[in-house]
A = this chain, B = another copy of it.
Amino acid sequence: MDINQMLPTILQKNNIARIENRKLLIGDRRRYPFALEFVRCSTVGQIGDALKAMVTQGGGPLQVALTTMQFVARQIALNEQEDSLRTFSDASQILSNSRPTNTTMARTLATLLGQIVLWYTCESVKESYNSDLVEFVDQLIETVEKRFDEDYLKMGKLGSTLIDDGDSILTTCFAEHSLFLSLIEAKKEGKEVQLFVPETRPYYQGSRLTAPSLVEIGVKGSVITDTTGVSLMREKKITKYMTAADLVTMDGTVVNKVGTLANAIGASYYKIPYTPFAMSPDATKEGVEDIVIEIRDGKEILKNSSVDTLDALYLSFDIVESSLVDKIVTPKGIFKPDEIKENFGR
């Protein structure tokens, strides 16, 4: 099953990243839904800058990273870059450093490098591809993408089991494939649900990505301001709180977009279950001390908000202690936070 046909516009692979005319194109989520535009990158440096500038976010950088490896292979084939492992590892470094908190991209790139090293050290590998580097890398990426798609579908199936007919679900930011596939599956099963979508300042991923995507899949969604979720909980209008997770550590600590903590505490106070979706809990991180939180420029808030002479502080991510988390949906199953280590630990 091609999940691209099921997903809303902004989550379709071609709209996240693709190669066209020797350029890597990144779907510009800052412009959506006003326009479907692409930032065109000629170098890996430009790709890293685009990720830093939030051209895409959430799971977007992972897809960009995979496509970048294909882009680098093509640059090497065209003699635009040196034919060496170093070229790939430099690219990987630039990408991994661009957004430090969500480590799925960095870990996926590390795994890919471990396979690309075979190309440069193992003659039989090169021979089996007739020395066609592009074909070798394309096949690597295709395998990875296929596995991710399978994982997304599994999480969608699992997530849908947590959704009941009549649910009124609060989310935060843009929970992408896992939540959307859960909603699509729930809808297929005849469950009627509605979502409340915090706009998610300062980049409005909620009102600009989540809300229009809900319209596309035919699920009712209402945009609210970022603090209104807790107010709706007080009015008993929220039955579930579900988000993506940029990072889950082995002790079940969840890292996600700023705003997730305030809602998780509200959910705990009003006894509403909080369920994040995590594609790959990070076995290299035990707990809070190992988390690297990206500090972004406070001026990013002021751009829409007020005069730029003011002081501002932009914490882009929240750390949510495991005691506030009910269950975590992963491709391997739905786990309590204290079951993460036994299922994902090294």
Interface range, A side: 35 or more
Cβ-defined contact, A226 with B226, below 8 A: yes
- Identify which of B224, B228, B258, B269 contacts A225 (C-beta below 8 A): B258
Bound: A145/B304 CA distance, A: 36
Q: Chain B nearest CB: distance from A86 CB in Å?
A: 39
Binary interface encoding of chain A residues 234-273 relative to chain B, with 1 for a CB under 8 A from any of its CBs, else 0: 1000000000000000000000001101110110110000
CB of A85, distance to nearest CB on chain B (Å): 40
Chain A contact residues, majority secondary structure: mixed
Binds B, one of A53-61, A120-128, A214-222, A330-338: A214-222
Q: Is B34's CB under 8 angstroms from A227's CB? A: no
Q: How far is the CB of A232 from chain B (nearest CB, A)?
A: 7
A125 to B261, CA, bound (A): 61
Residues of B within 8 A of A208 (CB): 305-306
B228 touches A313 (CB 8 A): yes
A319 to B223, CA, bound (A): 20
Query: Which residues from chain B contact A262 at a C-beta distance below 8 Å?
Result: 227, 229-231, 262-263, 266
Q: Are B306 and A212 in contact (CB under 8 A)?
A: yes
* Copies in the assembly, this chain: 2
Residues of chain B within 8 A of A226, CB atoms compared: 201, 225-227, 259
Specify which chain B residues have a CB less than 8 angstroms from the CB of A202 in the assembled complex.
225
Residue A318, interface by CB 8 Å: yes
- A interface list, Cβ under 8 A from B: 33-34, 196, 199, 201-202, 204, 207-208, 211-212, 215, 220-232, 234, 258-259, 261-263, 265-266, 268-269, 298, 301-302, 304-307, 310-315, 318-319
Interchain Cβ contacts under 8 Å between A and B, 28 examples: A199-B201, A199-B305, A199-B306, A202-B225, A204-B306, A207-B312, A211-B311, A212-B306, A221-B310, A221-B311, A222-B298, A222-B311, A223-B298, A223-B313, A224-B301, A226-B259, A227-B259, A227-B318, A228-B258, A228-B315, A230-B262, A231-B258, A231-B261, A231-B315, A231-B319, A262-B262, A265-B266, A304-B304
